[in-house]
Chains A and B, each alone.
Chain A
Amino acid sequence: MKKKNFVSGRTLSCWLLTPLLLLSVLVSATENNSLSARDIMAQVDARDEGENSVATSAMILIDSRNRQRVRQLKQYAKEYGDKQKYMAHFLSPADLKDTVYINYDWNASADVDDESWLFLPALNKVKRISSEDRSAAFLGSDFSYADISGFELEWYDYRIIKESEMVDGHDCWVIEYEPKAALRDKVLRTTGDVKTQTWVRKDIFFQVKSKIWKARAGEIKYFMATDVEQIDGIWTAQKMQMITTKNDKRQHSSIFLIQDINYGVGVGDDIFLPDNMQRAAAMN
């Protein structure tokens, strides 16, 4: 009797829930279909990346002769409302060990420059460095600072060039964006990017693939994010690769592997203080 009741109850739930579910999927699909390119990119920009995180990662640099060099780092990130603070501490190789990089990535609404510092153990000195050259290589890799810190939503005009394309079994929009005419010079100067095509997963608003045309003639970069999984409720790409090509020939490439990441673990504020960099390097 109980069993029947249970089945009946379950069936009833199914009957009630299935149309609701279908309806919500339809509504969601309709909503997604009605989104403009800018709306989509706004959702990408607003995607939850966690209040704070601690990660152990490896950056693998691959040269044109496929020689691989590995640098391991520990990274800390914390959201502060008006800015995100980020700290990277190199664990290897030996000649980079204990180098520490700190970045304060201010929101576009703050209308102020980002801030960066570098602690070089060889000099025992903390140096303020410019963070506006976002086209520069991030930690010597094919990723630029612009690639890492993400795009500034207000800098670009967006358009959907393909409503649907499958990438690794996931339906994606293909969106192209270029600097707004009034900001073109500034964007080119700071990012070096002329145009970007990006593939955004419709289910989670996640950029899984990008093709980036650089200002330097013939240079195009190809980005891929794979092993995308939900960790502590946050969608995370555990492998990112960037290939730099020139005239359709691969120059070099870099792979960023997240070996271990924890969100919401309670990262202290002290670790992001530039004057604590030397001690942070010694303590890690």
Chain B
Amino acid sequence: MLFKLTATALLRCYATSVLLACCILHSAAANSDDFFADIDVNVDNLNQLPSPNKWFVRQLLSYGVEAPGQGFSRSEVGFNKIETSIHGEVSYTFSERISGRIEAEAFYDAIYRLDSDIQPSAQELSEFETRFQLRDAYLDISLTEQWHLRLGHQIIAWGQSDAVVIADVIAPHNNYTLLQADLRDVRLQVPAAHFTRSTSDFTLDMVLTYDAGFNQLAPLGNEFDPFIALRDLPQPLAQYNADNKIEYFVRLKHNFHGGDVSLIMAEANNNTLTLQQAKAEQLSFSQDRFSVLALTSSLSQGLWVYKAELGVHHNKSLMPAATKFNHYLGGWPQHDQLLSMAGFDYVGWRNTTLSLELNLQHTAGDTDALSIDKNEYGAMFSLLWSDTNEKLTVKANAISMLDNNGRIFRLNLEYPLTDAFKVGGLLVHYHFNQSDTLYPYRNNDVVQIYGQYDF
């Protein structure tokens, strides 16, 4: 009986095993075959081309995780920006030779100067509480087969460096916040006539700008008020555009297999304001005039792209040391500067682009009276990782800044919930020592979250 039971059990067990094995094999085979099955696409409007125009609204919440300290209008930990913005761009093709584009953004900060002792002027409110920013308003005109003209307000970015301004001297930068702005908002437009002649080996760019302005600066008492160290002085501070409003820029670029090299020359106004005159009634800041001669290059080899940039800024006004400030009330001293960058992008590691750039700045002449050392070193490390299917994008930067300006760490994550709606987060940490020029801004760390809806 026991034997019979055991035999039956064994038989059942064997039969079950065979069945199970068959099922597993069948299932494996079925799984494998399924991967060649046709996938149904359930997407509407595929036959319609998308509109050439684009709009999005963005809501940003920014939280200051530290109190900025004395002199700043925000005195406590808390929200420092609740900003709603709308972005629009419209393109139109008039003919085969002429097209046009307008792109602009409007921002509204719902808590601007809330709980602040500083009473903002109407002009300040129109610049920072409700802000309108034109990005592009230009006509593209094909003059001949090879000559093209872009005429109007436009953003022009030259050079290879992401950390230092060497050849990228045309577009003023948005310095309202330090490395918190979305990448698209870092550079500001300039009114320009931009002529281009391109062949397969050479490209010649000639740019003429008029009244292009200077870097956008934070207002009095704001977290990145660039004049915070001077606010205790009795005189008010005034900012002026350059006297000579016309700037010239030329770039000749040669493309060869695997690389390119560009020669850039410019007679330009410095986009960083410098002291022009200090009087009893006012400190006047304006743009000084300087010349730029620069070489930039990039070279692709295997999984690496090497980048280099070398430039001379001739007759550039530089900030004196705090102890020597009173010696230069008629204008800051002018020096020649040699700036350089060497770096690479590497793409051989798991859908990630790793970038490193090293910066060196050498100031000619006697630099004892300056706020910077004769030789300054900087570096920037970046990581850009994107999941397959681009579900999650991670951007991280660590920057060691030139001019004794300390270090900044930035982490940005973005996740698209749908094609039209994405959410993101940004963390910026500022690490400035007492000897750093940016020391007053050491407590401006922020955490931001945002959502963007495209339509």
Residues of A within 8 A of B (CB): 56, 58, 60-63, 67-72, 91-95, 97, 112-113, 115-116, 121-125, 128-133, 136-137, 140-142, 189, 209, 220, 222, 224, 226, 241, 243-245, 248-255, 257, 259, 269-270, 273-276, 279, 282-283
Interface string of B385-420 (1 = CB under 8 A from A): 010111100000000000000000000000010111
Select one of A121, A136, A270 contacting B347, CB under 8 A: A136
In the complex, the answer to whether B35 meets A245 with C-beta atoms within 8 Å is yes
Select one of B101, B304, B345, B389 contacting A140, CB under 8 A: B389
Chain A residues lying within 8 Å of B93, measured Cβ to Cβ, are 283
In the complex, the answer to whether A255 meets B46 with C-beta atoms within 8 Å is no
Q: Is B371 an interface residue (CB 8 A)?
A: no
In the complex, the answer to whether A58 meets B46 with C-beta atoms within 8 Å is yes
Q: Is B280 an interface residue (CB 8 A)?
A: no
Q: Is B250 an interface residue (CB 8 A)?
A: no
Chain A residues lying within 8 Å of B35, measured Cβ to Cβ, are 220, 222, 243, 245, 250
In the complex, the answer to whether A63 meets B389 with C-beta atoms within 8 Å is yes
Known contacts A140-B386, A140-B388, A222-B36: does B49 contact A91 (CB below 8 Å)? Answer: yes
Q: How many B residues face the partner with a CB closer than 8 A?
A: 69
Residues of B within 8 A of A (CB): 28, 31-32, 35-36, 38-39, 41-43, 46-47, 49-50, 54-56, 91, 93, 99, 101, 140, 145, 148, 150, 155-157, 182-184, 186-187, 196, 198-200, 203, 253, 255, 257-260, 298, 300-305, 345-348, 351, 386, 388-391, 416, 418-420, 422, 452, 454-455
- CB-nearest residue of chain B to A208: B36
A/B interface sample: 5 pairs, CB < 8 A: A63-B389, A125-B157, A130-B345, A133-B347, A279-B148
Select one of B28, B253, B345, B388 contacting A129, CB under 8 A: B345
Which of A72, A130, A259 is the most central at the interface, judged by chain B CB atoms within 10 Å of its CB?
A130
Chain B residues lying within 8 Å of A248, measured Cβ to Cβ, are 28, 31-32
Chain B residues lying within 8 Å of A121, measured Cβ to Cβ, are 184
Bound complex: CA A226 to CA B38 (Å): 8
In the complex, the answer to whether A130 meets B303 with C-beta atoms within 8 Å is yes
A54 to chain B, nearest CB (A): 13
A206 to chain B, nearest CB (A): 16
In the complex, the answer to whether A137 meets B300 with C-beta atoms within 8 Å is no
- CB-nearest residue of chain A to B187: A124
Bound complex: CA A92 to CA B55 (Å): 12
A152 to chain B, nearest CB (A): 15
Select one of A63, A68, A97, A220 contacting B43, CB under 8 A: A68
Bound complex: CA A238 to CA B386 (Å): 28
In the complex, the answer to whether A130 meets B416 with C-beta atoms within 8 Å is no
In the complex, the answer to whether A72 meets B49 with C-beta atoms within 8 Å is yes
Extra inter-chain contacts (20) besides given A133-B348, A222-B36, A257-B41, CB under 8 Å: A68-B42, A69-B389, A113-B300, A121-B184, A122-B182, A122-B184, A124-B187, A125-B157, A128-B259, A130-B300, A132-B347, A133-B303, A136-B351, A137-B388, A142-B388, A241-B38, A273-B200, A273-B203, A275-B203, A279-B150
In the complex, the answer to whether B253 meets A275 with C-beta atoms within 8 Å is yes
Which of B32, B260, B390 is the most central at the interface, judged by chain A CB atoms within 10 Å of its CB?
B390
In the complex, the answer to whether A259 meets B302 with C-beta atoms within 8 Å is no
In the complex, the answer to whether A69 meets B351 with C-beta atoms within 8 Å is no
Chain B residues lying within 8 Å of A276, measured Cβ to Cβ, are 198
B201 to chain A, nearest CB (A): 10
Chain A residues lying within 8 Å of B145, measured Cβ to Cβ, are 270
- CB-nearest residue of chain B to A120: B183
Chain B residues lying within 8 Å of A97, measured Cβ to Cβ, are 50, 54
Known contacts A60-B41, A62-B39, A259-B47: does B305 contact A129 (CB below 8 Å)? Answer: yes
In the complex, the answer to whether A63 meets B46 with C-beta atoms within 8 Å is no
In the complex, the answer to whether B39 meets A255 with C-beta atoms within 8 Å is yes
- CB-nearest residue of chain A to B391: A63
Chain A residues lying within 8 Å of B389, measured Cβ to Cβ, are 61-63, 69, 137, 140-142, 252, 254
Chain B residues lying within 8 Å of A92, measured Cβ to Cβ, are 50, 419
- CB-nearest residue of chain A to B353: A129
B144 to chain A, nearest CB (A): 11
In the complex, the answer to whether A124 meets B157 with C-beta atoms within 8 Å is yes
In the complex, the answer to whether B50 meets A72 with C-beta atoms within 8 Å is yes
